[in-house]
Structure 1
Amino acid sequence: MENIALLGIDLGKHTFHVHAQDKAGHQLWRRKLNRKELVELVANTPVCRIVMESCSGAHHFARRFLQFGHDVKLIAPQYVKPFVKGNKSDFVDAEAICEAASRPTMRFAAVRNEQQQTISALHRTRDMLIRSRGSAHNQIHAYLVEFGIAISTGPAAIRKLPAVLEANELPPRLVALLEQLRDYVFHLNEQIAVIERELNALMKEDDVAQRLLTVPGIGPITASVLAAQAGDARQYRTSRDFAASLGLVPRQYSTGGKTTLLGISKRGDKHLRTLLVQCARSIMMHIHKRTDAMAIWVRQLLERRNSSIVACALAAKLARIAWAVLGGNAAYVPHPQRAA
């Protein structure tokens, strides 16, 4: 046990596979453990580096193992897959995790605290409720069209549904079903409002999120997601690295000394990338009212580029600004208009 330098753990729901290596990268032992046995083993192991894939349950175990004094690292699963040798098995995966962690240029994910995971859970639940509400809206519209009734889209049409049902002769059972769906939509609206109130309450307690609100276009939802997903952003070397992790920089396909830049890479968190693009579009809607340096830059881009391209470029700039705000202790201060 004294010679252990690296532990690779392949996480599961009930069983966990551990691969131990020394400093030279030689295998010392392999073990299959349950949840209790894993915690006991790590607690009794001399301080070493422990590496896991950044997946379900990884952040919980990382926090537990950090309490024992270990150096805990999390790796994105896509960085581990190239190191899997031969046929896949749990022990081979654990060995591949050790192999990937041994690379000097490997990128690791930050360990999230409980509040960050709670905020992420609230956002995922909110997204699920919004998708369910959209499905219920579509179902109501589809049923009415089947009976020759076309209503407008949006929440206002659902509120006017009783008047539509009164003005048209429909089967009683269908009317009851539509009313049930309408009540379901109202219930989802209430649940979404409850979660948004909870997020706003958490925002008021978070100094980082309050600083993010000073960035143009970023509202409470985007600020809370940024605070939860990026933390203090110290795991990113530069602001460009942070923007690249969100998939907001061009995808490169270069060979033979010729540089070829394609569309944005769309890597990383799709939800956060979507929110930043929406923030960029909200700025562009009122760009004529702004006089700072960012507004001038956006207007110049709009003269020669499509609005969608400008929105992605502005989203990348907002991500860079957010990185600076997350890594520092000051709010965003817009640059004044540059003299001609």
Structure 2
Amino acid sequence: MTADDEQQAVDAATRHTPVLLERCVELLAPALDAPGAVLVDATLGMGGHTEGVLRALPHARVVGLDRDPQALALAGRRLEPFGDRFTGVHAVYDEMPDVLRRLGLTSVQGVLMDLGVSSLQLDETSRGFSYSQDAPLDMRMDPTTGITAADVLNTYDEKAIARVLRVYGEERFAGRIAREVVRRRADAPLTRTGELVDVLRAAIPAAGRKTGGNPAKRTFQALRIEVNGELEVLERALPAAVECLAVGGRIVVEAYHSLEDRLVKRALAVGATSSAPPGLPVEPETHQPYLRLLTRGAEEADDTERERNPRSQSVRLRAAERLRPTPHHLRATTAPRRSA
């Protein structure tokens, strides 16, 4: 590793504090304690969770997926000391089954998902994820492909913009914001985050800007989710990840807003609930739960973690263990991926 590589590895470690790392390792450890055990870190980011697993669990190796080439490169340098115990792959995490097939893996012992925007993406001003600094309206997690936030704001009609803001940002002033966007873009396309913040300032009543934190947060979240197809990807990825788990394998998911957490809760509940019709005197084996929930509801960060790591403020962690193969009648069919 060159001096520049070493500095970039240090940068990755100092710029990102993994959320609930000890708890994630604790939940995954029983499934990763045998030689040859494999964890898929489905959202590698800058590699903090993977590094924690590789240090704590000497039998484990990790396949790390990320759609962001910059994050993948930084994590790769950070994890270089672990040699062939780490494999990085440029992929979106709903591609997990295909990635594992290419690597010759029929199943894995663990899956970890740390959802949402990464510290790297927030910190890089030019990526346009932050409403606190003026930058191009981009917001793509993979900046090499796909639509940008500017494309959404300048090409979607008023009704579609309002829907994005209302559904993905839970923004009660979605209609007013959409009308102001359409009015502004009639003069010139919106291209900068600062311009969008000005739109929000004009569209959201003063009283609505006084509570609930920065009102731009909801709109920026909504646009980011739309640009990256985050909920569509998650809805496909959750059942796919469960199907990749060997019996005894474990899945741990960290979500950061209610829309994500709702999908996680629903997907794990399907596997942890009997599918037998009510009233049967004996539950057929094929209808017995194939997952066991490892958390009571969603776990949150304690005060110490929140003070140490502000990103943990909104985390909701859920986990489950695979008890048996998924019955044929419950195996999900994978929806087609949204084209870029």
| TM-score tier (shorter) | under 0.3
TM-score between the two structures when normalised by the length of structure 2:
0.24
More helix by share: 1
User: Larger C-alpha radius of gyration, 1 or 2?
Assistant: 1
